[in-house]
């Protein structure tokens, strides 16, 4: 496999150096693997910290900035960051109003963020935690007990980040983050496996002419494999799987997310089919994002995430945001 890298061992550090050069509005600590908004800590504001294995960009570092995260902790590729990173991030952004940890439901992330919360509290930092577990594909997986955390992470970080920027106290920011997670569901589909720099070859075997329905963002197995389907058929499957679990009564936010290796030409065509499927099922869509936001290196495929919203959450979604990967209203 050809990759635009130097050596696998420096992939994350090289990416962080490049991010620092591209985004002077961020403070990027390459050695300690922490990305912080340059104006942190922001007085009288709850801070949001998240993180996870690298390889899912722009998640999480691309979502650091006004209106979303205060800091992010990138681990090695598909590997959880360590507690020291999280404590360092929390200390850098805490203004005295507390810190919310946004944690995707993967065993390593959960254990390390739990340990970091204890260490941070020992240093006098008030910490709350929200677990994101939106993936309806499987109940348990190779990396989790319970559902995996995927596309809804973006919704949690955006909506809770907007609440924090509006001056909401920690308890309120935490409650909004939990409400967003509880009202979000996702399903992903892989057309090809991803390739990690260290392995240099596909992480799992997916024969030509087959796809994986319900794949995880690390290439974990999904619900089933089938012969290749049309965009229309995949959209119907994904929408039905999400709606079987969510059953929204209100309009929804829609994320049509690329896994990293699917061109926008295909993603927009897939989005058209997802919109058709939702219209046929009488689901109103309030806002849409289409693009690569929660990726899996070079995996070809897409995921669909729905979040049932109300007037308050819609207002938080529309609130200004200014990050490397998401910005509007500014």
Catalytic positions, written as ranges: 56, 218
Among positive and negative, which fits the CA dihedral 261, 286, 173, 149?
negative
- 69 DSSP β-pair partners: 64
The residues near 181 (Cβ < 8 Å, ≥ 6 apart) are 130, 131, 132, 133, 134, 152, 156
Q: What is the DSSP string of 97-132?
A: S-EEEEEES-HHHHHHHHHHHHHHHHTT--EEEEEE
Report the run of H or E that residue 234 belongs to, with start and end. Answer: helix 231-246
Token digits of residue 240: 């039905």
Query: What backbone phi and psi angles, to 5 degrees, belong to 61?
Result: -60, -30
d(CA 35, CA 27): 6
CB atoms within 10 A of CB 25: 14
Token digits of residue 17: 């150096």
Among positive and negative, which fits the CA dihedral 112, 115, 119, 124?
positive
Token digits of residue 144: 């989790």
Angle, helices 231-246/264-280, rounded to nearest 10 degrees: 50
Among positive and negative, which fits the CA dihedral 224, 240, 56, 227?
positive
């Amino acid at each position: 496999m050809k990759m635009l890298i130097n050596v696998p061992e420096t992939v994350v550090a090289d990416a962080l150096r490049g991010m620092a050069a591209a985004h002077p509005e961020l403070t990027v600590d390459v050695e300690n693997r922490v990305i912080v908004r340059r104006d942190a800590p922001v007085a009288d504001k709850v801070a949001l910290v998240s993180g996870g294995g690298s390889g899912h960009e722009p998640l999480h570092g691309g979502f650091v900035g006004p209106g979303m995260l205060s800091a992010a902790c990138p681990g090695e590729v598909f590997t959880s960051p360590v507690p020291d990173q999280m404590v360092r991030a929390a200390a850098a952004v805490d203004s005295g109003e507390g810190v919310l940890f946004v944690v995707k439901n993967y065993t390593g992330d959960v254990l390390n963020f739990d340990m970091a919360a204890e260490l941070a509290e020992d240093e006098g930092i008030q910490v709350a935690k929200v677990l994101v577990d939106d993936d309806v594909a499987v109940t348990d997986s190779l990396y989790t007990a319970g559902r995996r955390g995927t596309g809804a992470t973006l919704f949690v970080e955006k909506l809770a980040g907007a609440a924090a920027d509006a001056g909401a106290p920690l308890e309120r920011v935490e409650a909004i983050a939990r409400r967003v997670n509880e009202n979000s569901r996702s399903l992903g589909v892989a057309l090809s496996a991803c390739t990690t720099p260290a392995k240099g070859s596909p992480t799992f075997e997916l024969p030509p002419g087959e796809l994986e329905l319900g794949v995880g963002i690390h290439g974990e197995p999904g619900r089933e494999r089938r012969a290749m389907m049309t965009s229309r058929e995949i959209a119907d499957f994904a929408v039905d799987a999400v709606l079987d679990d969510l059953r929204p009564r209100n309009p929804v936010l829609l994320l049509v997310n690329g896994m990293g290796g699917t061109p926008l030409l295909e993603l927009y065509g897939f989005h058209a089919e997802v919109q058709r499927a939702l219209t046929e099922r009488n689901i109103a869509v309030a806002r849409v994002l289409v693009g690569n936001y929660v990726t899996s290196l070079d995996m070809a495929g897409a995921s669909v995430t729905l979040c049932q919203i109300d007037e308050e959450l819609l207002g938080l979604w529309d609130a200004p945001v200014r990050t490397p990967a998401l910005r509007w209203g500014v």
